[in-house]
């Protein structure tokens, strides 16, 4: 089965929110107008992603999510490649440290904390302070792409 990518529409908003909740990632800043969605020929949304702007001027590759049945079939890769091509320049992302090697394939590398924009330094410190993911061995990783 195949899929295609297209800009999200207002009617995708509830599906985007539901998918983001289902995969347990940051539900803040989910403006459907920034999203690309992956859809089946039947019109079922199977994945999404966005470039989220921050007040400090940084831009984040964010909200990359794929429904369980479509994982490991190239959906996330296609969404990421599309968003990177459509948004040249420096991009940041946050992810679990175990996902670092996946994002390195797209030209991202770990960002040293002193070089992070303010938004990402704050998030990193907050997550560290709260001990999020400490028990799983995963830590928050902030990555940067300079292309």
Q: Which domains does the chain have, with CATH numbers?
A: 1-88 (3.40.630.30), 92-147 (no CATH)
Sheet strands side by side (includes 35-39): 4-7, 35-39, 45-53, 59-66, 91-96, 140-145, 109-110
Tokens standing for residue 28: 């803040």
The string of DSSP letters for 38-80 reads: EE-TT--EEEEEEEEE-TTS-EEEEEEEE-GGGTTTTHHHHHH
Q: Which band of pLDDT confidence, cut at 50, 70 and 90, is reported for residue 126? A: confident
The pTM (predicted TM-score) of the whole model is 0.90
* Mean pLDDT on 115-135: 81
First to last CA, the chain: 32
Q: What is the pLDDT of residues 35-90, one digit of tens each?
A: 999 999 999 999 999 999 999 999 999 999 999 999 999 999 999 999 999 999 99
* Cα–Cα dist 147/144, whole Å: 9
Confidence (pLDDT) at 133:
53
């Amino acid at each position: 089965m195949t899929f295609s990518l297209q800009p999200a529409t207002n009617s995708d908003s509830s599906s985007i929110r539901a998918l983001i909740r289902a995969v347990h990632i940051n539900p803040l800043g989910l403006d459907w107008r920034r999203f690309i969605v992956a859809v089946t020929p039947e019109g079922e949304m199977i994945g999404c992603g966005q470039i989220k702007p921050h007040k400090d001027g940084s831009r984040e590759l964010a909200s990359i999510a794929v429904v369980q049945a479509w994982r490991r079939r190239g959906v996330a890769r296609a969404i990421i490649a599309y968003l990177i091509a459509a948004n040249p320049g420096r991009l940041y992302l946050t992810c679990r440290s175990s996902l670092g090697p996946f994002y390195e394939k797209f030209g991202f590398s770990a960002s040293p904390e002193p070089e992070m924009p303010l938004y990402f330094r704050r998030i990193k410190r907050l997550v560290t302070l709260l001990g999020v993911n400490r028990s799983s061995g995963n830590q928050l990783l902030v990555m940067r792409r300079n292309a």
